[in-house]
Amino acid sequence: MTQVVKAVETKLGETGDGQLSAVRLKVSALSHLLSHDQSALQTAFILAARGTKAEGATLEIISVPGDAWCPQCRRGVSVTQSRETCSICKGLLVMGSAEPEAVIYELVVKK
């Protein structure tokens, strides 16, 4: 979460004044972040944000599908969980790693 807060501060520096109220983070369904309890992620964000421009803001997690490959069917698929199987052959999927785990989607700032 420290990396997220640093990125938020950089973005806020570009936008000028205002009070940050929420950070919306798009997280890949394949990310290890989604294996954690939402309250644990909130707590980690709150602790990382102490003394920064992000202090007092809430963290909103938006899960987005990840990319995977079915070696049996030889096709790419989108997955919403890290342990999915192929919808056609029910075989194991190879999870992709090309997309970033988390991306700052939106900063909600009150003027």
Domains in the chain, ordered, with CATH? 2-65+99-110 (3.30.2320.50)
Write the CA distances from 20 to 60, 61, 62, 73, 102, integer angstroms.
13, 16, 18, 46, 19
pLDDT at residue 81, as a whole number: 83
What's the rounded Cα separation, in Å, for the pair 62 and 22? 13
- Per-residue pLDDT band for 98 (boundaries 50, 70, 90) equals low
Average pLDDT of every residue of the chain: 88
pLDDT in tens, 1-58: 899 999 999 888 876 667 899 999 999 888 888 878 888 999 999 999 999 999 999 9
Contact of 99 with 66, CB cutoff 8 Å: yes
pLDDT at residue 16, as a whole number: 64
